[in-house]
Amino acid sequence: MQPRKKPRSECPAARTLESVGEYWSILILRDAFQGFTRFDEFRRSLGIAPNILTRRLKHLTAQGLFKRRIYHRKPDWYEYVLTEKGRDFFPVVIAMFAWGNKHLAAKGASLLMADRASSRGVEPVMVAAGTLAPITLDNVVLVPGPRASRDVHRRLDAMRALRPHATV
């Protein structure tokens, strides 16, 4: 359940959830990554009510993940094209696929990821850009960024005080 009043959070995870953390939004983006751009394509694929789809597409466009582009005149029909910001969300959805296949597919995965050119299976792994070392809970900790407020510094200090083994 989403909070009634959305906080202006400095946390990137909270801001991301405010932007796209709604069931239909994630599924709309999933379909957009497979090439869907038109309202009817999304509606048929998702079985979503038109009023809900309209609201979600409007929100995702306002958030900068899609841009609306006219593809037919009289009447005007629009398609929803992923922006760079929208395309940058792809690894998040892929991480969700991988996690779902690992933890929620008791009888085996129904969808797998494959390289477009070779059709070979792909297992996503998040790595540190500088070292290419896998990013895991054991080797990464949150630290204040250059624009962190005093509240963020205090919160992270309090977290480290409660869990000193998690410090850098």
pLDDT digits (tens, 9 = 90+) for 108-152: 888 899 999 999 999 999 999 999 999 998 888 888 899 999 998
- Assign residue 48 a region (left: φ > 0; alpha: ψ between -120 and 50; beta: otherwise): beta
To which residue do tokens 């070979």 refer?
120
Tens of pLDDT along 22-42? 899 999 999 999 999 999 999
pLDDT confidence of residue 83: 98
Tens of pLDDT along 88-105? 999 999 999 999 999 999
Q: What is the model's pTM?
A: 0.83
The 8-class DSSP code of residue 90 comes to: H
Name residue 67's beta-bridge partners.
81
Whole-angstrom distance, CA of residue 3 vs CA of residue 11 = 15
Element (H, E) at 82: strand 77-82
Q: Going from the N-terminus, what domains does the chain have, and what CATH number goes with each?
A: 12-87 (1.10.10.10), 127-168 (no CATH)
Name residue 36's beta-bridge partners.
none
Name residue 121's beta-bridge partners.
114
pLDDT confidence of residue 1: 45
Dihedral, 127, 124, 60, 62 alpha carbons, nearest 10: 20
Closest of 31, 15, 28 to residue 55, by C-alpha: 28
CB 139 within 8 A of CB 131: no
Closest of 111, 41, 112, 114 to residue 80, by C-alpha: 41
Q: Is the pLDDT of residue 7 over 60?
A: no
pLDDT confidence of residue 155: 87
pLDDT confidence of residue 38: 97
Tens of pLDDT along 69-79? 999 999 999 99
